[in-house]
């Protein structure tokens, strides 16, 4: 597997391009994957890199991309619906760069995955959606669900969620996945938080595990889900 940095042209305010990285597997198989980061993160977040490496090990070409607000150095993210247009432009540019890749899985960490799902609900085609900690609601506010667009999502979804994710009450998530037209796969990591970090006090065996280690162990889950997209 090799990793290469590059930039993607995007016209958004003062931003003319965003940073990206591509993981090219030694043996290609399955769909390509485009991942974006959480509201306060960037393409080099440890968990996002680990997820990209895992997917590349399974044979997918994987592209990690900065969203425009992060490229501009902004600490806060715009409202998710305002990020859909720039996100769509990024997807189009990435697809143009890799024309041999006919099938793409979209998604990413928290806010990035949510924006991807809103773009797909708005008509952006893809093979599936991969959520690394879907932000179902603001912490402690299960009355403010971010699922109104789900009935328009026409593809299979994989949710990688932490048992202790304050942005995602698992019971509420299970009650709402039926709004997705296609069958969704939910994998819960015991003791993990929103980023899939596991504190020693929350770990089943008392050992702290950072997100990269946790994600590296999800190969079987990701592989099985990718096979459902064939």
- Burial of residue 202 (CB within 10 Å: 0-12, 13-18, 19+) is middle
Q: Which domains can be identified in the chain, with CATH numbers?
A: 2-228 (3.40.50.1820)
Q: Looking at 99-103, 130-134, 205-209, which range is the least confident one? A: 205-209
DSSP string for residues in 91-124? HHHHHHH-TT---EEEEEETHHHHHHHHHHHTT-
pLDDT at 32 over 90: yes
Tokens of 224: 């099985």
pTM of the model: 0.96
The H-or-E segment that residue 34 falls in is strand 32-36
Q: How confident is the model at residue 76 (pLDDT cuts 50, 70, 90)?
A: confident
């Amino acid at each position: 597997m090799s990793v290469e940095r590059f930039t993607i042209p995007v016209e958004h305010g003062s931003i003319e391009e965003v940073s990206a990285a591509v993981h090219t597997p030694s043996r290609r198989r399955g769909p390509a994957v485009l991942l974006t980061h959480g509201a306060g993160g960037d393409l080099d977040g440890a968990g996002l890199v680990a997820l990209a490496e895992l997917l590349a090990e399974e044979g997918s070409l994987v592209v990690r991309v900065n969203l425009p607000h992060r490229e501009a150095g902004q600490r806060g993210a715009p409202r998710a619906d305002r990020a859909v247009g720039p996100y769509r432009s990024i997807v189009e540019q990435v697809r143009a760069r890799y024309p041999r890749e006919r099938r793409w899985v979209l998604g990413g960490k928290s806010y990035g995955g949510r924006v991807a799902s809103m773009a797909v609900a708005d008509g952006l085609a893809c093979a599936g959606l991969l959520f690394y900690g879907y932000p179902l609601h603001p912490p402690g506010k299960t009355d403010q669900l971010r699922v109104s667009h789900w009935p328009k999502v026409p593809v299979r979804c994989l949710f990688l969620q932490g048992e202790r994710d304050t942005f995602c009450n698992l019971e509420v998530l299970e009650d709402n996945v039926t709004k997705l037209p296609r069958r969704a796969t939910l994998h819960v990591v015991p003791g993990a938080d929103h980023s899939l970090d596991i504190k020693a006090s929350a770990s089943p065996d008392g050992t702290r595990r950072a997100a990269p280690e946790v994600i590296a162990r999800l190969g079987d889950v990701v592989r099985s889900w990718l096979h459902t997209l064939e």
